[in-house]
Chains A and B, each alone.
Chain A
Amino acid sequence: KQEVTQIPAALSVPEGENLVLNCSFTDSAIYNLQWFRQDPGKGLTSLLLIQSSQREQTSGRLNASLDKSSGRSTLYIAASQPGDSATYLCAVRRGYGGATNKLIFGTGTLLAVQP
């Protein structure tokens, strides 16, 4: 059974710092991995998707990497801003057909960026 864990569970940093969020998964046979952001009481916003054949993806100040063999992904946020404060969730997708078409979410990292 796939298990997805995120470390740390909570993180507080001063504005302007670069930071790394970690995601680990137990089954390396994944289809893709997606990073989401969730603001309090809101839905999920997709940040980056890394296909199983890719090593990293970048969008603005965000960079996500994937190492399937070790079961790890990282989300790097450069020059953090107070507006980055949210819960960050990683999710692995097992496959695309039938019973494998599902996202398994990690436990989340609650990020607070202090002005």
Chain B
Amino acid sequence: SAVISQKPSRDICQRGTSLTIQCQVDSQVTMMFWYRQQPGQSLTLIATANQGSEATYESGFVIDKFPISRPNLTFSTLTVSNMSPEDSSIYLCSVRGYYQETQYFGPGTRLLVL
């Protein structure tokens, strides 16, 4: 199984600022995803991070608000831009390896926006 780390693990931010979350995997993976989990809710897919090209966003999520980078097969960043209290959530990085069905998740970044 893949070992995934995220930084920061948690943060408290002011309205209007931006936060970049990093995701590092210990092995090369095909697919990297970013999910959001709002308080007391299930997980919602934000986007698929594509290596060397623009991320693929799900309905309701846009690049200006959630820019994503994936410079190589083991690293990705998600930025939450111009934050509002509604962005307070857990943000989770997830990966899937070559020819693998199982999808693994990082420990999450707990964000509180004041």
A and B together in one complex: no
- Name B's A-contacting residues (CB within 8 A): none
- Name A's B-contacting residues (CB within 8 A): none
